Structure 1
Amino acid sequence: MLGVIHSIQTKQLELHNYVHTMNIYPNELVIFVCMLRDQAKLIHQLGSIQIDLTFKRVKGNINEFEINSYNTEHKLILSYARVYTNVTTAEGYQQLFTELFNVIKNLTGQAVKFRHIDGNGIGCIIGDLDPAQAKGLGLFLQSKDTHKDWETHLQYILNHVLSILNAPSIGELEKIFYTLEQLEESKIKEWIRYYRQPYVLASLNLNASKIDPEIWASSANNTNVAEAAHALANREGKHLKLLTAII
C-alpha cells in the first residue's frame, strides 16, 4: 500500500488520474477507490449495475470490489470502478459505498441518482450480496433518503431480484419479471431474458424445477460446503504457484 501511496503523491505512472481515495482508518479499514473520469461519466448512463467482490486477487487481506454492467452492444461485461478494500462489516460497506459515489460526484460534478429515490437513474443492483454488503448498501441509501429505513430501500432496489428464489408459484415468478420489465431498461431486459430460460429458472426456484420436491428440500440451499472446501484448501496458503497448489 505504501508503494501505491508514494506513486500517487509523486504522480508516477499516471496513477493519480485513476486512484482517487487512499483511506486507511484507525480501525484498520482500507478503502482505495479507482476509476477514470470517463468511466465515472458512463455510470450516470446506467439503469442497472452489477456488484462483484473478488477474493485473493491481491496478496494479503485486501479484496477487489467491482462495479460492472453488461454492454448489450459489444456483448461484454464492462468494469466502471474498482475498490480495493478489506471491509467485512455493514458499517464498512456503508463507508465504501459513500466514498465510491462521492468520487463519481467529484469527477463528474453530478451525484449518481437512484430511481426509487430520484425518479430516474439506477433502478436495479444485481449481485451476490452477503448480509454485510446488503445492509451497508441499504444504510448508504438511507443516508440519501431518510424517509425509508435501510431494509425498505433494499426492497426497492434488490428485493425483486432476490425474491425469485422464494416465489411460491410460477404465477408469482411472472409477476416479478413483469415488474422488472416496467423499468424499461435494456440491460435489465437482458437479465430477464437470461433468467427466464427454463434451465436457469429451474436452478433457482422449486416451482420451475422438475427435481423431486423431497430431493430439493433435502439439498443444501447455500454454498457453505464449497466455501468450507475453499477454506480447507486455503490452509496451505494463498497466492501459491500453480504447481504448488496442484500438489
Structure 2
Amino acid sequence: MFPATSYLLLKTKCPSIDTSFKHLHGWQEFEMEAFFPEVEHSLVVARAFTTSQSAEAHLNLFRCIFQIVEEDTGEHIKFRHIHSNGIDTITADGHHGQALGLGLYCQELCRGNTEYCSIEHSQLLSSLTPTDHLLGHVSNDVLEAMRSLATADPLLDLEAVFELIHNGGKKALDWLKDKESNNGFALAAIYQPASKMSCAIWQAAPMTSNGNKQAPCNINRDGTKLTLLAGIMRGLQYNSCAIIFLDTFLKEGIYSCNCHFTHFQRASQAIRWKGMSQEKAVILKDSEITTNYKKILKLQDGVQSAAKLVKHSLEPTMSHNIEPAKKRLFTAVDKLEKSSQQLDKIKTQGSGAISTSGLLEMADMFDPELLQSTGQ
C-alpha cells in the first residue's frame, strides 16, 4: 500500500473484497477494491498475501491493513453503524471466512465502547456479536422464490416464500440454510427488510462483487503462479501505475482510456450487453425447440407404426402378437407424451418464430380404443 492508496481507502464508502488463487504459486492474494466516481475508475486500494481463508486470518488482514491506513493518514477507519460516518458497506463473496473476519474486527473495535448502536438503540456496541455487525439446481418456481428475496421492499408473505424454498429439494434447502446461518447476515445482504441498514444505504451499495472480480483479471495478465517476491513487485508496479493515472487525471484531466464514459453510456452499454445475452439465450432455446420438434415427428411415426401393428394383431391369425404389440404402443405413446411436455415447457422460452404445425393429436394418429383391445 502507498500513502495515496491509504487515503483512497479512508474516503471510500462501499469497498469490495475478493481473493485471487491463481496469481501466486502456493499463496492467495487478498484484495480490497473500490470504484471512485470522481475519476470513473475502480482501483485496488489494498492487497495482501495469505495462505489461509479462515476468519482468524482475515481478522489479522483487516487489523494490518487498517493499521497501515492509520499510520499513513493519522486517522482510523470508521464504519457508519459504529461511528455514524465512514464505510457504509463492504461487498464480499459468499465465503464466511471473509465476512466473519470483518465481524470479528468490528467486535474488537467496539471492545470497551460504552455507546449504544446507532441502528439498534437498545444494544451497546460492545455487546454486538461478529454476525450482529454483519447484519447490515431447482425448479423455476423455487428459483423465482429465491430471486424474490433480492429486494428492498417487504414481501407480503415471507414465510410462504421460505416454505417454498424449504420444500424445493436439497440444493434449495442448503441455499436457504446458508442464508439463514450466522444470524442471517447473508439474507440481510439480499433482502433489505432483514437488514439493519437504512434503505438508502442498502440500495446505494453494489449489488454484485463484479467490480472486485475484475481486479484479479487485471492482475493475472501479468502472469499466474508467480513467486511471492514476483507477486509483490508486480503489485507494486500495478499500484504505481494506478496512482500515476489518478494524479494525471486530477491535475490535467487526461483520462487513461480513449473513451471517457459517462453514467448514461455505462448504463446504455449494460443494457446492450444484457440484450445480447438474452438474444443468445433465445437462439439456443430456438435450436433446442427445433431439435425436440424433429424428435417428436419421429416419435409420432413410431406411434403410428405401433398402432398399425396392434391393429394388424387383432386379426384371428395374428392374435398371439397382440400383447407385445400393445406394449410397444404403450412405450411409444409414453415417450411421445414426455417429449411433448418438454417441448411445451421450452416453447415459452423461445422467440416464437419456430413453427410446430406438424404436431398431431393422439386421436389423429390412432384409435385410442386400440389400447384396450384384445385378440380374438
TM-score range, shorter chain: 0.5 to 0.7
Please show how residues 10-89 of structure 1 align to structure 2 within 5 Å. 35-60=1-26, 62-89=27-54
Pick which of 69-78 and 38-47 moved more: 69-78
Partner SS for 2:33: strand
- 1:61-88 residue CA offsets vs partner (Å, 9 max, x unmatched): x111111111224432211111111122
Sort the Cα spacing of 1:192 and 1:90 in 2 relative to 1 into closer, same or farther, 3 A.
Answer: closer
Structure 1 window deviating more from structure 2 (115-124 vs 64-73): it is: 64-73
Distance 2:87 2:103 in 1: 14
What is the identity percentage for the equivalent residue pairs of Structure 1 and Structure 2?
A: 27
Kindly indicate whether the alpha-carbon contact (under 8 Å) linking 2:152 and 2:199 is maintained by their aligned counterparts in 1.
no
Pick closer, same or farther for the CA change 1:171–1:113 going to 2, 3 Å: closer
CA-CA distance at 1:135 after TM superposition: 1.1
Query: What is the distance in 1 between the residues matched to 2:150 and 2:91?
Result: 21
What count of residue pairs does the alignment treat as equivalent?
Answer: 154
Deviation at 1:52, TM superposition (A): 1.2
Cα deviations across residues 167-196 of structure 1 (Å, max 9, x unaligned)?
A: 287833898399665239xxx63736999x
Residue 192 of structure 2 corresponds to residue 176 of structure 1: yes
Partners of 2:44 and 2:9 lie apart in 1 by 10
Q: CA RMSD in A?
A: 3.6
Unaligned runs of 5+ in 2: 111-125, 137-145, 156-189, 211-269, 275-376
1:202 aligned partner? none
Q: Which of 130, 140, 151 lines up with 2:131 in the alignment?
A: 151
Moved over 6 A (4+): none
Corresponding residue number in structure 1 for 2:98: 133
Q: 1:166 to 1:38 in 2, by over 3 A?
A: same
Distance 1:111 1:165, change over 3 A: farther
Which structure shows the higher helix fraction? 2
After superposition, the C-alpha distances for 1:188-241 in whole angstroms (9 at most, x for unaligned) are: 63736999x997xxxxxxxxxxxxxxxxxxxxxxxxxxxxxxxxxxxxxxxxxx
Deviations 1:134-166 (A, max 9, x none): 11111111001132110100103xxxxxxx967
Partners of 1:95 and 1:79 in 2: CA distance = 19
* Equivalent residue number for residue 25 of structure 1: none
Q: Could you say if the C-alpha distance between residues 153 and 63 of structure 1 is closer, same or farther in structure 2, counting changes exceeding 3 Å?
A: same
Give 5+ residue unaligned stretches, structure 1: 1-34, 157-163, 200-247
Q: 1:132 to 1:193 in 2, by over 3 A?
A: closer
**Aligned equivalent of 2:149:** 167
Against the structure 1 CA distance between its residues 46 and 90, is the aligned structure 2 distance closer, same or farther, given a 3 Å change threshold?
same
Quick check: which one's strand share is greater?
1
1:86 aligned partner, one-letter code: T
Q: Which residue of 2 aligns with 1:117?
A: 82
The 3 A distance-change label for structure 1 pair 71 and 131 is same
**One-letter code of the match for 1:37?**
P
Match for residue 191 of structure 1?
206
Equivalents in 2 of 1:138, 1:67: separation in Å? Answer: 16
Question: What secondary structure, in the 3-state scheme, does the structure 1 residue paired with 2:47 have?
Answer: strand
CA–CA distance in 1 between the matches of 2:16 and 2:84?
20
Distance 1:151 1:167 in 2: 20
